[in-house]
Amino acid sequence: MTAAEKTLQGLYPGQTGIILSVGNQSGAVKRRLVDMGLTPGTAVTVKRIAPFGDPIEVRLRGYELSLRRDDAAQIVLGDLPPRRRDKISSRISYDTRRPDPETLRRMRYARAAERGVRAAAYESDRDDGSRTIALVGNPNSGKTTLYNALTGSSQSVGNWPGVTVEKKEGAAKLGGGEIRIIDLPGVYSLSPYSMEEIVTRDCILGTADSGRPDAVINIVDATNIERNLYLTVQLLELERPMVLALNFMDEARKNGDTIDTARLAEALGVPVVPISAKTGENIDALLRAADRQTRRGYTLEPDGLYDGMTRDILGRIGRLVRQPAEAAGIPVHWAAVKLLEGDNVVLETLDPDGDARAAIEDLADEYAASGPGDRETLIADSRYRYIEKTVRDAVRKGPARRAETVTDRIDKIVTHRILAAPVFLLLMLVMFALTFGPPGKTLSDGVAFIIGNFSGWLRTALAGMGTAPWLISLLTDGVIAGVGGVLNFLPQIALLFFCLSLLEDSGYMARAAFITDRLLRRFGLSGKAFIPMLMGFGCSVPAVMGARTMESDKDRKMTIMLVPFMSCSAKLPVYGLLSAAFFGAWAGIVVFSLYLLGMAMAVASGIFFRRTIFAGEPAPFVMELPPYRLPTLGNALVHVWDRVKSFLVRAGTLIFLMSVVLWFLRNFNGRLQLVADSADGILAGIGAFIAPVFRPMGFGVWQASVALLTGLIAKEAVVASLSMLYGFSLTAGGLAVASAMTGFTPLAAYAYLVFILLYIPCVAAVSTICREMNSLKWTALSAAWQLFVAYVTSMAVYQIGRLFGL
């Protein structure tokens, strides 16, 4: 590095530099940086530094990106030497010559024939019956909102990376038929950087189980078109039928932007439809255009995307791998592009012979020597230069872009060096105050009153009809007490999810990851782990799946093992019951302390893991910071209903069956005889056997022990079990519940809550962990660690509390 050169790390907020080269010890990190637009000649401005000193936020190509200072230190800034400028100019001179439409049409026909495709098929009207269309786009581009608009589905949406981590399928109506729609995870490129990118690429290529889609709808954020088009040109390299959907057109117009869709369509060679997935603008037109594209069979990449030399190199590589590529069902041209980039996944899939491998490497070396940087950077640079020219021709930015945005003003507060942490804690405290304070408690008491009155009415009505006492007891003391005890807390769960939905939709989640990255790195994770961990406050199942966005296997496994420490919403009924019974007006503070304790245990576990089984360098942190968007009531209600529906299904199935089984075990002995005292039942015997294990924690009674066992099925079942086993009424006040739970003191009740917070998650979460880990050994280790931490922490809380006379 010369004296005139410096690195991105050396810039202060507000300073701008020109990228000279991108280097990184990790090839995967370098690939991501290049894919995100950090190519030679790109202007980049440092906007701010995270409150704890790392990472930094930069602006380039019209959007904000965060990356760590260590990675920024490997990005060299300065003026490109004249020799390199000349080299770059000569490489892109071909791009500036745009043929007329008729010449362009003949060129595409000729290229189609050259690649072994019948030119007549380009305009054919094939109709193979039902068709499949895949939705592909960058994170935060509105894919899931569009999927909901097309299919009438109600998938959760959010303004942060990683909302969709697996493909979803639905059907859209068109005319008298249906079109299968696949919503794929958001990706920035088709390079194998993370699991969701592999899922998306395999689906488009047709190597996934779902088969190859007939066409692709590429969703592009119209407010951030330059960076979004990088994925577009990669999709065009696949030469699949495609339509470009320009989403957020309402916001683009508000910013004063003007987009010439006809010129954009001509440049890219595919239809371009301006839409707003949120308002439904042009959704039908988009679906019709996609349907027409399915009949074309394929498209061709734009002329001018690559210069003459690049095309020559790609053609020579294509001839070397044509046979294995066709045998694998992979487009020959795309395979050549990926091999020139150095994509090892494609190389191993095609597995060319030794001579062909050597020839490919020689061609790649020849290509790399033709310009500044390595072959991967040169390919990305060619794509971005073509995109820059296309955007210059088709897009005019409005004057609103030059002013300070709403996002800038909000970020000055929520990412402020001093205010960031207090703002985050205040948001969490407000959320829990609404959930467990007067609003949530009032609604919960109302549900309890309705269920209690219904139980009393049913008992009286059944007795008046001469129903057998055991059946009355089964329905009222078993089913209604169990299921109703869980439904009692449904309003609080809905409130919690409503608050989380507002945070997700607004774009705050990405800022929280930006703020916490430095802290999470201390125990070996990146700030991206914060998103699935925060999702864990809602439900552990999607949170565990959200760890797919982690780039390395080590970080993904570690994140999965830490997610269960985040208190899921299924534990809320237990918190609400015991905190109201034993802590009265302090219930909200007690519950808030449990959430903080869960996060503290995750931190402590992470530090332990980093020094033992997950030792090594922390994961990289390269993440887009999307603009803030006003949450919509519709999206929030969809998100709440999605979780409430899941809760109701569990209450009507698992909790119902558990209540019946518990009632039977409680009221019958080993000889299957009805007992008058539940202490003589089968359940009491089971509980008495395991209760001594919990005596050091202050709740060594059989009822509490049995309730913990049922919590392994579903955490809500703990409330159903306690209400049934202790026999307290749903309409009873806190003091009545506390007096019914003999053997419990406030200290023991808190220790019990701590154990429930930390011990093994429900069966659904454990099965998801097993699936995502793809290992019984790792799943068993995760469960054993949870149980160990829960036991030690709960015992410490009780024993230390006794020392202080609590």
Expressed in percent and rounded to 5, the helix, strand and coil fractions of the chain are 60, 10, 30
186 is in an annotated binding site: yes
Q: What is the mean pLDDT of each run of 10 residues along the chain (806 residues)?
A: 74 91 73 86 91 90 89 84 40 41 50 44 45 88 85 53 60 83 85 71 72 88 90 88 92 88 91 90 91 78 81 89 86 88 84 87 86 80 90 83 75 88 84 75 79 83 85 77 69 78 81 84 75 76 72 80 87 86 85 90 88 75 84 78 72 71 77 74 81 91 85 78 74 68 88 94 80 86 94 95 86
789 is in an annotated binding site: no
CB atoms under 10 Å from CB of 26, counted, come to 16
152 is in an annotated binding site: yes
142 is in an annotated binding site: yes
477 is in an annotated binding site: no
Q: Give the span between the Cα atoms of 717 and 654, in whole angstroms.
A: 8
**pLDDT, position 209:** 60
Q: Give the span between the Cα atoms of 441 and 727, in whole angstroms.
A: 22
599 is in an annotated binding site: no
Q: Give the span between the Cα atoms of 97 and 307, in whole angstroms.
A: 11
Q: Give the span between the Cα atoms of 755 and 196, in whole angstroms.
A: 34
The full 3-state SS of 312-343, as one line of letters, equals HHHHHHHHHHHHHHHHHCCCHHHHHHHHHHCC
* Token pair listed for 728: 């307290």
184 is in an annotated binding site: yes
163 is in an annotated binding site: yes
801 is in an annotated binding site: no
**pLDDT, position 733:** 59
183 is in an annotated binding site: yes
Verdict on whether the full-model pTM lies above 0.75: no
Q: Give the span between the Cα atoms of 294 and 273, in whole angstroms.
A: 16
**pLDDT, position 651:** 65
* Residues 52 and 638 sit within 8 Å (Cβ to Cβ): no
166 is in an annotated binding site: yes
Q: Give the span between the Cα atoms of 105 and 567, in whole angstroms.
A: 59
149 is in an annotated binding site: yes
**pLDDT, position 663:** 76
248 is in an annotated binding site: yes
CB atoms under 10 Å from CB of 280, counted, come to 11
Domains and CATH numbers, the chain: 6-80 (2.30.30.90), 133-294 (3.40.50.300), 424-615+636-803 (no CATH)
261 is in an annotated binding site: no
452 is in an annotated binding site: no
